[in-house]
Structure 1
Amino acid sequence: MRSILIAGVASGALSHAAVCAQAPSAAPEPPALSAPAAASQEAASEIIVTGSRTIRNGAAAPTPVTTLTSQALTQTAPSNIPDALNRLPQFLGSSSQYRSTTFNATAGLQGNYLNLRGLGPQRVLVLIDGNRVPPTATSNAVDSNIMPQMLIERVDVVTGGASAAYGSDAVSGVVNYILNKNFNGVQASAQRGVSTYGDAGSYRLGVAAGQGFAGDHGHIEASVEHYRNDGIPSQSQRPDYSRLALITGTGAANNPYTLVTNARFNDVTFGGLIRSGPLAGSQFNPDGTASPFTAGAPTGTSQVTVGGQGAVVPPTVLVPKLETTQAFGRASYEFTDTINGFVQGGYSRSKTGYLSAFATRRAGTSNGITIFADNPYLSPSVRTALGAAPSFTMSRLFSDAPGNEQTSLTQSYNVMTGLEGTLGGLHWDVNYTHGRAQLDLSQVEQNNRNFYAAVDAVRAPSGQIVCRVTLVNPAFGQGCVPINVMGLGNLDPAALAYIRQDSRSRIVNRLDVVGANLRGDLFDLPAGPVAFAIGGEARWQKLRQTSNADPSIAVDYTGIRGVPSGVLPFATTNVGAARGSQDVKEGYAELNVPIFKDQPFAKRLELNGAFRYTDYKTSGSVKTWKVGGIYEPMGGIRLRLTASRDIAAPSLFDLFAGQQAQVGTNTDRHTGVTSLSTIVSSGNASLQPERANTLVGGLVLQPSFIPRLTFSIDAYRIAIKDAIGSQDAQTELNDCELSGGTAPVCALITRPFPYSNTTPANFPTTIVVAPQNLSALRVKGIDFEVNYTVPLEPVVGIGGNLDLRAFVSYLDSYQTKANATANFIERAGRVTTVATTAGLPKWRGLVQQAYRNGGLTIQLTERFTGSYRRTTTEAFDPAFVEAPNKIYTDLYVSQGFDQNRYSLFVQVDNLFNVKPPLLPATVNPGFTYPTDKQNYDIVGRVFTIGAKARF
């Protein structure tokens, strides 16, 4: 992989450089992906560089900044700007409609959350015109689908810590969306897309308009956009799902992970498997009679067999539906020659919907089923076989009932107003932002109280079959409809309607920000002016979460038999209430000092430093800083270096979340069992901000003998201590087992018996996951960028330019430490466990070649996923250890007409329909799609056509 990427970058850039080294310079057309902002020499003098509040020349920025035009981004991914950003190798582990950090078919579907360096969306600070965007998620992260994309002029990506300049959460970097504040005229766009399989249909409609007024002293602009993607409603619509591939085993030397196909459960069936009493080991037939259950061939996982009569999870959604709407407006006015004012506001709506799972109930868990001997739905033969047994337990997967229908709806609005101006050569601004984001989550699933009341059926004195609770507690049991759960196809629609309800929660984030900034030049040195910036900010943030499925509120089951211990309000999702607030006061100062300029040993040497003091109501004060500089020994060679201390504050949800509980399936290597446990989480009010030390150093080359070539290489190292995080239940189980039961995380796992018991009966009943300041994380790597424009007239005698762009990232190390006593675990180029998590390839890249001539653009993009090993700490079937590199090719063609006022475009993503590799996980047969959804394309070839018009 390493040789492929280096060869591709080098040959693409250097061969054309050799051809055109003697060619005369020509003014290039706008490139597909602009050069790094730190390398840009044009127009940057008028732009404050993202990552600094003093530097107005991108060439002087010590921190790497990549600038990408909105046109370039939409040509890279026509779906939306965040999807295009996620194709850059610096973004790793993002979640979106198509991407998930787990193998689960339905994970990570609540928005488009950018993730730099794989450090988490909560450690990326999202800005719009340099101002903080109110969070939309419980983690403080921002759903980038809410941005007004038609009015975005460019996006600046800072790939290094920027907390001293912008505040908390800029640990891995900053994504700054820059608006086009001088948009004039009317622009409309429309596009339609579909996959080669006839699904994933999409369309986008948008219109933007801008106009000056009051003799151009004022300006107003607005945009409205709507996007819809129908997704892929079933995993069965893609190759490999029908094989029902799964990894079984525990990863131990005597039970290695092994790939099997036609995997099925052996402890649950579609019609119901009797697990206790005289008929234990029998299954219910559709007519209600019982027959012996035939299990398949055993595997290394006790609950999974190959073949047999066990159940398998029916196909769930592979890609959810997505629908987004954005409306934005902005008005500005020049009150005087030195004072401008503005007000802007936006509303966005992002909705996903999908079939997430099918109800599964297992005997012996908090979701188990008990059938009593007086149940009138029992067939005579079964009732006779029971003899004197008063009841029996059973397990069942409800494939004949509707699956759980999950919906996620994010609505966000924000209003910003401000004044800016100049005074005595200094530039000042004051601003106020108010934002509100509301996330509504709902899932139609089984209400446990109604379910157990309906299952506990008896015959009334009148002979009618009724819920027992209506006889013993009539007021409590009103409306109950008895249900027959014995045998496939016997579910009464009226009973299903009674037991299925919405589990709902609503999360509301409110943010108010007041800020003021002052910048300018203090005095002149021989090398130039000393620039400064000072400012302050106050933030007030509030969180409120409500739910109809709070697990801390006891449910009354009076008069209902067979209710298992630990039962939750709903079968799958139970969310507690949360309420909290945070007040933040902070001030900063930044200084940029030129040391040398145009000297024999230094064409330029500048130093830059910043300091910020932040005070949190919940945790006290914290200090962040940055020091850096750039050194140009001669023209065309620039060295840059930055060291910084950065922070990420705990979210209000981390601090104040109420108890939440859900029933989840996990594989316990200790007992060799895959089954259901209750997973409980809550907030932690004692959390402190996490701290990160970042070091970034690089080299930028712009050789005069190769005009229009820019090459940059930047090495980075980020070390986070007291990292805020809560491991998922599967990771906690794995870490506890790796420690032999001695790690502190083992205290969060509740088992029926002591840890020394390894029998299946000791499978965990409850697993607690909660945020803590216990973990640590260390990441280091190298980023490469090549940008080269070749005028073709002097070379081959045809008009136009050839633009070459390459972005390549090398992940040298990614080490995580679960807690203070654990060892660091290396994840670069591997995963720590094959169970469910996606891998972290060492090499990733994107290479573009674009021909532009007038209104014609033809662009080819190659995306490299990189490869990784699925495990190095566990025993594994060697045939499936390697997750291979895949190369995807995208084609974009557009033609402009009437001086480019009108244009048509066609884009084909994954031109050669490269399929993802077969990489099964170790969860439920049928539930997971057998590949890594984070690194590989699961949609296949996608065609998009569109038109744009400007009036």
Structure 2
Amino acid sequence: MGGQGAGVACTFPFFRDSQIALAIRPQCEGLRNMKNQIRYGAGTLSLAFAMVASPSFAQIQPSEQNTTDESPATTSSATGEVIVVTGSRINNPNLEQSSPVAVVTDEEINLRQAVVVDDFLREIPGITPSIGANVNNGNGGSTFVDLRGIGPNRNLVLLNGTRVVPAGLDGITNIDVIPTALLQRVDVLTGGAGAAYGADAISGVVNFITKTDFAGMEASATQQITEEGDGSIFRGDLTLGANFEDNRGNAVLSVGYTNRNTVFQGARDFSQFNLSSFTGAAGGSSTAVPTVITVPGTNSGTLQVSPDGSSLVPFYAPFNFNPQNIFQLPLEQYRIYGQANYEVGEGAEVYAEGLYTQSTNRTTIASSGTFRNVLTTPLSNPFLNAGIRNQICGFDADANTAGVQRLFSQAECDAAAVATDPSDPNYRTADIDYGRRFTEFGTRDNEYETQLFQFKAGIRADLFSNLSFEAFGSYGESEVDSRQSGNGTLSRLQQSVLSTNPNTCLDDSNGCVPINLFGPAGSITPDVQAFLDVGNSGKTETSLLQGQAFVSGDFGFAFPGAITPLSVVAGVEYREYTASTTSDLLTQTPGEVLGNGAANPDSFGSYDVKEAFGELAIPILEDSFIPELTLLLGGRVSDYSTTGTEYTWKAGGTATLFDGLQLRGNYQKVTRAPNIGELFSPQVTGLDNFDADPCAGAGPVNNADLRAICLAQGAPTASIGSIIVDPAGQVNVTTGGNPNLAAEDANTWTVGAIFQPSFFNGLSITLDYYNIKLTDAITNPTVDDVFASCFGADYRTAPTGSAASPACTAIRRNPATGNLFGNVALTPGIPLTVTNQGRIETDGIDLVINYRREIGFADLNLNFAGNWTNSNTFDSNQDDPDNLVFECAGFFGTNCGSIIPEFSFVQRTTLGFGGADVSLLWRYIDGVDLERSNFNDAGQAPFLDAYESIDAEHYFDLTARFDVTESFEMTVAALNLFDNKPPIVGSNIGSTSFNSGNTFPSTYDPLGRRYSVTARLRF
């Protein structure tokens, strides 16, 4: 990866109504000072509530609408209004609706009273909930958007047409940094847009457009709270703007503050206890209190310290981790955004914008502990009583082999119990696998502090009457600092266990304090916590330098059958990405930070891309036997420093068959080069989710071939028959980057119609079909795929395979217990290597209906936006015709991640009464079933029948807005009006990121009825 960019975006020539990007690489200095100069500027003002923004497709916007390079606009001579064309850089009114674009206006955002943009984005049909405020375990301090459910790394996020510096190595934008208060609208192009916008736009583009001519003052404050009295959210904003120089220029500044409080899973009845998806009974983790113990090298099985502490008994008390986990992440954010534009001459304008955000959020998960770490323990440990010590000494090395001696004889055991000096010949130790929660430490907290700034400057101008030019440069940096507490360290834990005196350790350096792992809750003292929990930290830094320059206009002549001239845009673009992670030694050491999953070694990477692109709009027919027929062509050539030259192109257009009916369509060939994380992330072992292991239980005892496979994977002989599946449903996996990756390819196409009948005033209908196919997709296999490759498709019921198969020996087990979980430094688990072998396909239909009319006593507005996903499939090996293909549309489970319903919609009914509005939002989520996999198709799903399907869900939000005075407005609302509780499926179905608290809180509302009020003052 290249060095951190030190350059600052310079001011480049820009020209109104132009668009084609010139690769510019500014080398100016000084922008870095911006983030020190724009520090906190936040007020305490904004109570914004709002109903789901009913998406509508691209439409004519008022003349004050912002015009950007990525959402070009032109002024219609007939109407004097700005026509926004999303999905193309051509300024041609005939392309006004050439691509399906959901438009969320500022009015809709205010009705929704959104605190962050994810509040309304993820409820748009066709957008799959991604990492956000309801994802606790697996959240790295950012919020992402996922169009069409094919990954947040395959859609592009823009601010006024410009890419926003990403949050990490994967090149994904944290949408929490978007300045919500100043948004004029949000364009969501839910179809391929690679030719117009470049890489990462396979599934579409989200373009946040801010107001450019704001004049006056607006102060707003929003307060939300749940009916339970928790989950308080406050947002305040102050925006100041003014026109100057006889309206030749405008400047605006917006500052804001947000404070969102935590909601714990223990605060809701349905999530107080961790429920097993297999039985429906309360369950939990095998890292528990009292301690869970296995003695490696013996057939001890999984035992637990008895309630009275006198002996080891069969595992009986899993740890309920739910109450300490959270449904709503806390967030504190300060933000400032400013922009200015100035007309330096007739037809020429310079502009600039700057963004700075500082936000702090925190994930909170259940208490740390020793998650089945094997610790060398003296038999003279002062907390090890005689009963438990005798059991440990007496376990046979192999119960199936006659005549094998016990671990220690009774005489050795008795002598070792009083041998406190390692030099004593009677001193003995045993390697013991411990599962003990450090509940005395409280929770594991990871605080993320994000600081992001970005600056952009440019110029746009008319070159000739039919040709214009625009150019800009932009530079941004993001820094995410993480600080962890409540974990403890493995090396200090081992040092603490190696004690033979209750007051001192054998190695008393570092202020070592002996730990009691055999006692009940409360037996670990504050002094032990102070010794073990030393804290750890890390940092992720990214930068993005970009520049564009382009010309656009027309050729001055038209086809014989048309009136509008041919339009053209051509330009160049340059981008340079850098990203790195750094952390302290504890965080970099595998397994050292207890309960931390994967280590985080330092990493560094960079790449740049030079691009040239062009578009051509060819009106074929106008005012002929059909009103309009237009062809749109586009292409882009990209030179990546990592993968070489890639080509993207598109062909599409519109046809108006008669007034009120227009057909539209686009076909695109798109490529996406691998990002820094996919290329350069180091190999690390962390955690994933699964619920079966062919080597668990008695299977390998009775099947010699299966036994051989388990042994070849590293299971010790004594563990056969005693291997277990983690009760928490977790499994170790090893992942990392692959510097040999190539770009992935996609074919995307949309075809649709717009119906605005003249005989039915106020009605508009849009219907669009989309189809996205990715080949050579950069993906990881699923855990299910890896098991099936080794043990066969029917591995749950009839496992097969060979001990010599590379697919089997690639799986590496815990060398002490044979399990697929435990110390990540010793148990690589399942290999999930990223490759270009994946295939992803999705298709479906979007339907939008808008109707507006006066009904005498009120204005009636009806809006409907629905999505039907016909299919959403993932194949981890496109070259293997027998490989399992996962269908995720209408299904949920571990392999499918976040839920993608087959059908979903939002419908809003609004009645306007002059200075007041009443609005009811109805949101529908179709029912889903347990995912089809190699075990469910055979009817062998082990889960409780009641948990294998989720019924359709209906949510209703009621909002009222009224003008108190000419300049003061109030909005009140009840969200989840009928207090619907989320569906319960237990904790084992689905990934930990999206299945949490026995449900899927990113899809279904876990908070219950909420109330919101917003006050807004304007001058």
1:275 alignment partner in structure 2 = 294
Q: What is the TM-score of this pair, normalised by structure 1?
A: 0.85
Counterpart Cα distance in 2 of 1:142 and 1:837: 20
Task: Provide closer, same or farther for how the CA distance between residues 802 and 155 of structure 1 changes in structure 2, counting only shifts above 3 A.
Answer: same
SS in structure 2 of the partner of residue 457 of structure 1: coil
1:357 alignment partner in structure 2 = 366
Q: What is the TM-score of this pair, normalised by structure 2?
A: 0.79
Q: CA RMSD in A?
A: 3.0
Counterpart Cα distance in 2 of 1:494 and 1:520: 73
My pick for the range that moved more, 660-669 or 810-819, is 660-669
Code of the residue aligned with 2:659 in structure 1: it is G
SS in structure 2 of the partner of residue 74 of structure 1: helix
Counterpart Cα distance in 2 of 1:382 and 1:723: 53
| CA drift at 1:81 | 2.7
CA distances 1:10-60 after superposition (whole Å, capped 9, x unpaired): xxxxxxxxxxxxxxxxxxxx9995773445487574244121100443764
| CA drift at 1:495 | 1.6
My pick for the range that moved more, 156-165 or 566-575, is 566-575
- Mapping 1:454-533, distance limit 5 Å: 454-459=496-501, 465-470=503-508, 477-488=509-520, 489-525=522-558, 526-533=562-569
2:23 alignment partner in structure 1 = none
Say whether residues 1:831 and 2:891 are aligned partners: yes
- Mapping 1:359-398, distance limit 5 Å: 359-363=368-372, 367-379=373-385, 382=388, 386=393, 387=410, 388-389=412-413, 390-392=428-430, 393=432, 394-398=434-438
On the 8 A contact 1:49/1:58 being kept in 2, the answer is no
Structure 1 residue corresponding to 2:1011, chosen from 930, 939, 943: 943
1:26 alignment partner in structure 2 = none
Say whether residues 1:749 and 2:811 are aligned partners: yes
SS in structure 1 of the partner of residue 365 of structure 2: strand
Counterpart Cα distance in 2 of 1:279 and 1:607: 74
On the 8 A contact 1:699/1:714 being kept in 2, the answer is yes
Counterpart Cα distance in 1 of 2:161 and 2:778: 26
Code of the residue aligned with 1:750 in structure 2: it is R
Instruction: Give the length in aligned residue pairs.
Output: 857
Unaligned stretches of 5+ residues in structure 1:
1-29, 249-258, 296-307, 471-476, 554-565
CA distances 1:181-222 after superposition (whole Å, capped 9, x unpaired): 000000000011101111111111100010122333322111
Say whether residues 1:910 and 2:976 are aligned partners: yes
CA distances 1:586-609 after superposition (whole Å, capped 9, x unpaired): 010001110111112x11000101
Counterpart Cα distance in 1 of 2:586 and 2:784: 23
Counterpart Cα distance in 1 of 2:193 and 2:762: 29
1:619 alignment partner in structure 2 = 643
Say whether residues 1:608 and 2:647 are aligned partners: no
Counterpart Cα distance in 1 of 2:99 and 2:459: 28
My pick for the range that moved more, 646-655 or 620-629, is 646-655
Task: Provide closer, same or farther for how the CA distance between residues 944 and 732 of structure 1 changes in structure 2, counting only shifts above 3 A.
Answer: farther
| CA drift at 1:918 | 1.3
Task: Provide closer, same or farther for how the CA distance between residues 176 and 450 of structure 1 changes in structure 2, counting only shifts above 3 A.
Answer: same
Structure 2 residue corresponding to 1:859, chosen from 896, 919, 933: 919
Task: Provide closer, same or farther for how the CA distance between residues 89 and 516 of structure 1 changes in structure 2, counting only shifts above 3 A.
Answer: same
- Mapping 1:143-222, distance limit 5 Å: 143-222=174-253
Counterpart Cα distance in 2 of 1:747 and 1:522: 65
Aligned residues: percent identity?
25
On the 8 A contact 2:311/2:387 being kept in 1, the answer is no
| CA drift at 1:278 | 11
SS in structure 2 of the partner of residue 458 of structure 1: coil
CA distances 1:896-926 after superposition (whole Å, capped 9, x unpaired): 1333x21001011100001111111327999
On the 8 A contact 1:913/1:940 being kept in 2, the answer is yes
Structure 2 residue corresponding to 1:778, chosen from 826, 834, 841: 841
Unaligned stretches of 5+ residues in structure 2:
1-49, 64-72, 77-81, 394-409, 414-427, 697-723
SS in structure 1 of the partner of residue 269 of structure 2: coil
Counterpart Cα distance in 2 of 1:362 and 1:609: 58
On the 8 A contact 2:54/2:864 being kept in 1, the answer is no
- Mapping 1:563-574, distance limit 5 Å: 567-568=591-592, 570-573=594-597, 574=599
Counterpart Cα distance in 1 of 2:471 and 2:330: 41
| CA drift at 1:829 | 3.8
| CA drift at 1:846 | 0.4
My pick for the range that moved more, 403-412 or 185-194, is 403-412
| CA drift at 1:172 | 0.4
SS in structure 2 of the partner of residue 75 of structure 1: helix
- Mapping 1:394-413, distance limit 5 Å: 394-413=434-453
Structure 1 residue corresponding to 2:334, chosen from 314, 325, 332: 325
CA distances 1:506-527 after superposition (whole Å, capped 9, x unpaired): 1111110111011111122133
1:557 alignment partner in structure 2 = none
1:439 alignment partner in structure 2 = 480
On the 8 A contact 2:127/2:145 being kept in 1, the answer is yes
| CA drift at 1:400 | 3.0
Structure 2 residue corresponding to 1:57, chosen from 78, 86, 93: 93
On the 8 A contact 1:283/1:292 being kept in 2, the answer is yes
Code of the residue aligned with 2:533 in structure 1: it is R
Task: Provide closer, same or farther for how the CA distance between residues 349 and 826 of structure 1 changes in structure 2, counting only shifts above 3 A.
Answer: same
On the 8 A contact 2:922/2:957 being kept in 1, the answer is yes
On the 8 A contact 1:815/1:824 being kept in 2, the answer is no
Task: Provide closer, same or farther for how the CA distance between residues 786 and 842 of structure 1 changes in structure 2, counting only shifts above 3 A.
Answer: same
1:263 alignment partner in structure 2 = 283
- Mapping 1:2-151, distance limit 5 Å: 36-40=56-60, 45=76, 46-57=82-93, 60-98=96-134, 100=135, 106-108=137-139, 110-151=141-182
Say whether residues 1:589 and 2:656 are aligned partners: no
Task: Provide closer, same or farther for how the CA distance between residues 719 and 378 of structure 1 changes in structure 2, counting only shifts above 3 A.
Answer: same
| CA drift at 1:745 | 6.4
| CA drift at 1:129 | 1.5
Say whether residues 1:241 and 2:271 are aligned partners: yes
Code of the residue aligned with 1:844 in structure 2: it is S
CA distances 1:229-259 after superposition (whole Å, capped 9, x unpaired): 1031x212113224532123xxxxxxxxxx3
2:580 alignment partner in structure 1 = 544
Structure 2 residue corresponding to 1:768, chosen from 831, 840, 845: 831
1:4 alignment partner in structure 2 = none
Counterpart Cα distance in 1 of 2:241 and 2:526: 55
1:25 alignment partner in structure 2 = none
1:699 alignment partner in structure 2 = 753
1:16 alignment partner in structure 2 = none
- Which structure features the higher share of strand residues? 1
SS in structure 2 of the partner of residue 240 of structure 1: helix
Code of the residue aligned with 2:329 in structure 1: it is P
Counterpart Cα distance in 2 of 1:910 and 1:31: 11
SS in structure 2 of the partner of residue 453 of structure 1: helix
| CA drift at 1:747 | 6.1
Say whether residues 1:312 and 2:320 are aligned partners: yes
Task: Provide closer, same or farther for how the CA distance between residues 134 and 748 of structure 1 changes in structure 2, counting only shifts above 3 A.
Answer: farther
CA distances 1:430-464 after superposition (whole Å, capped 9, x unpaired): 100001011223322121121211221134xxxx7
Task: Provide closer, same or farther for how the CA distance between residues 419 and 407 of structure 1 changes in structure 2, counting only shifts above 3 A.
Answer: same
On the 8 A contact 1:41/1:59 being kept in 2, the answer is no
